[in-house]
Amino acid sequence: MKKGLQKTLSVAIACLSLSANVVLAAPDKAWSLVGFDEPESVLVHPTKPLLFVSNVNGHPAALNGKGYISLLSDEGKVIRHVWVNGMDAPKGLAMDAQYLYVADMQQMHIVDHEKGELVKSIKAEDSVMLNDVVIDDKGVVYLSDILGGGLYRYENETLTKWISSEALPHPNGLLFNHGQLTVATWGTGLHDDFSTDVLGGLSVIDRETKKLTPYKNGEAFGNLDGIAEINGALFISDWMNGNIFKYKDQTLELLFNEPKKFTGDLSSKGNLLFVPLMFSQRIDAYQIEP
């Protein structure tokens, strides 16, 4: 990792400050569970009552081999605290019928989620910090590189850069729904305190042309991390400020705020929204009203 980017991360973690200072009433919590190690992402199993949680377990850019995945029930009970280990700083998660895909710094891990075994790891050439993962309706896997910029694509057992860093400087959250690929960005003009000159927003990516089309009224509203969908509405986390936004019918609103909590990569099941709070070492499950 480049020395300047390493310094950026260190300063960011030590010196982040809130730009939002109004604490709003959050939706009702279904449950809350503590005891994680820098949880960054929650993923819902599509057919079983299970959740997967990535634990950075240290500095978000450390290559220390301490990162791991936890296995929970969707009711907030720990099944295996350390389910799969031997990773560095795992973040985004996605899964298909056979494998769990994990974004971890400059590589993507492939885990057999039935056996709970790490099958292989693939290096993403020229990447800096892979962050989120999503799979489309054709089984193609996409990964964002928040610091290096651009998107990677894993297809036919080959991982290559798909969208350039210049076209997409600091992508973070990814979501595939209703036949379209959505990206949530951190913003542009990154400073040492991890703030940006321009805030990030939501865009749809055309998978044929790679063209990005911003969401109407969702162009620039935060340093964005995760995206999830409930009842046709998108829920987006702002990691810097602990904000959770709701976007529906071209309308964006601040749903609630977790001050100084650093909300990570979201997931949903039914009306439940799962929110990892990275430096609070916990996962919250919120009941979202229809």
Span 162-217, pLDDT tens digits? 999 999 999 999 999 999 999 999 999 988 777 899 999 999 999 999 999 999 99
Span 242-284, pLDDT tens digits? 999 999 999 999 999 988 789 999 999 999 999 999 999 999 9
Per-residue confidence (pLDDT) for residue 13, from 0 to 100: 40
> What's the mean per-residue pLDDT of the chain?
92
Better-scored residue on pLDDT, 17 or 145: 145
Per-residue confidence (pLDDT) for residue 21, from 0 to 100: 42
How many structural domains compose the chain? 1
The b-or-e profile of 81-113 (16+ CB within 10 A means b, else e) is eebbeebbbbbbbbbeeebbbbbbbbbbbbbeb
- Rounded average pLDDT over 126-154: 97
**Domain assignment present for 287:** no
Per-residue confidence (pLDDT) for residue 25, from 0 to 100: 66
Question: What is the DSSP annotation of 68-127?
Answer: EEEEEETTS-EEEEEEEEEESSEEEEEE-SSEEEEEEBTEEEEEETTTTEEEEEEE-TT-
**Domain assignment present for 188:** yes
**Domain assignment present for 203:** yes
Structure tokens at 262: 């650093």
CB count within 10 Å of CB 27 equals: 15
Per-residue confidence (pLDDT) for residue 270, from 0 to 100: 97
Distance CA 93, CA 262 (A): 18
**Domain assignment present for 101:** yes
**Domain assignment present for 286:** no
Per-residue confidence (pLDDT) for residue 24, from 0 to 100: 54
Q: φ and ψ at 250, to 5 degrees?
A: 60, 25
Distance CA 198, CA 174 (A): 19
Contacts of residue 20, defined as CB under 8 A and 6 or more positions apart, other chains included, come to 241, 242, 243, 254, 257, 259
Question: What is the DSSP annotation of 169-193?
Answer: SSEEEEEEETTEEEEEE-EEEE-TT
Give yes or no for a contact between 279 and 58, defined as CB atoms under 8 angstroms apart. Answer: no
Q: Is 28 helix (H, G, I), strand (E, B) or coil?
A: coil
CB count within 10 Å of CB 210 equals: 13
The residue with tokens 């299970």 is 50
**Domain assignment present for 22:** no
**Domain assignment present for 115:** yes
* Segments forming the whole domain that contains residue 189: 3-16+28-281
Distance CA 41, CA 265 (A): 4
Per-residue confidence (pLDDT) for residue 191, from 0 to 100: 86
**Domain assignment present for 69:** yes
Give yes or no for a contact between 109 and 118, defined as CB atoms under 8 angstroms apart. Answer: yes
The predicted model scores a pTM of: 0.91
We report the CATH number of the domain holding residue 237 as 2.120.10.30
